[in-house]
Amino acid sequence: MKLLRQPCASSQRGISLVQCLVYLAVLGIIISIGGYTVAKAWDQSRGLAHNTSDIQRTLSIGEHWRTDIRAATGRIRSTTSEENQTVTIPTQAGEVAYEFREGELRRRADKSAPWIPLYETVAASQMETFTQDGVTAWRWEVELKSSYKKVRIRPQFTFIAVPTQRTVQ
């Protein structure tokens, strides 16, 4: 006995050309979105790396400033004009000065020494004295410009230092 096979609609399987094109279009969209997401994450990662190096550098400069304030042997002077601010700190080694002018922070170890640039991308800098609970201290508020153009965060820092010797402010 021979069994006859009859063609039936359910026995024909496969995908049509239209279905294949739809699957390829969906795959293309998913790959495009994935590629965009990876590129965006890569860019943000580079920005974060730039920001962390800026933050590390600023913390180092801030600690150096605090060391200079603590080493003051006389009255610390601040001169402010429209264009710049200069803070002069007398120490045993000589007068240390910090200057903020046109977005650049500079330091000079002595009157005869040249200015050394510490930071070239400073948005704002303000060094001022304040008294709290009978203690006179110095506060330095600094805001950085991001060295990486696509970063939306501007790091801001506040450093506080108290001169160790009694100095007349």
Tell me the pLDDT tens digit for each residue of 75-89. 998 888 888 899 999
CA dihedral 62, 103, 77, 56 (to 10 degrees): 0
**Which pTM was predicted?**
0.70
Q: Does 153 or 163 have the greater pLDDT score?
A: 163
Residue 18, judged by CB atoms within 10 A of its CB (0-12, 13-18, 19+), counts as: exposed
Tell me the pLDDT tens digit for each residue of 16-64. 888 889 999 999 999 999 999 999 999 888 888 878 888 898 899 999 9
Chain centroid to CA 25: 41
Q: Which amino acid is at 143?
A: E
Tell me the pLDDT tens digit for each residue of 109-143. 888 889 999 988 888 889 999 888 888 899 999 99
- Quickly state the pLDDT bin for 6 (edges 50, 70, 90): low
Residue 83 forms beta bridges with which residues? none
